[in-house]
Amino acid sequence: MNNIYLYSIVGAGLFTLGLYALISYRHLLRKILALNIMGSGVFLILVALASGETPDPVPHAMVITGIVVAVSASALALALVLRVQAETGKAELPEESLE
């Protein structure tokens, strides 16, 4: 199996795992971690698509920029979780009522 296919499959698996965790957990910190795992999967797929006979530098630059944006977004999300926890006393999403 070629390394490009292996990286693509692992990246898709990471994205799927992150999506499952994002949907299934209520705790906000777990949701932030799930978003980071999804982003890592996307970055891995972009790097796998960029490598080949003639490597394209544009996807590599996109991955580096994406990592910087992901770190900034994670820091903002963690600050918002701290604010939610200070206001409500819990770092979880409220229960949904169907009434």
Q: How many domains does the chain have?
A: 1
Q: Is residue 98 part of a domain?
A: no
Q: Is residue 79 part of a domain?
A: yes
DSSP 89: S
Per-residue model confidence as pLDDT tens digits over 7-28: 899 999 999 999 999 999 989 9
Q: Is residue 23 part of a domain?
A: yes
The residue segments making up the domain with residue 61 are: 3-88
DSSP 69: H
pTM of the model: 0.84
Q: Is residue 20 part of a domain?
A: yes
Is the model's pLDDT at 99 over the cut of 60? no
Q: Is residue 93 part of a domain?
A: no
Per-residue model confidence as pLDDT tens digits over 27-62: 999 999 999 999 999 999 988 888 777 777 888 899
Residues shown for the chain: 99
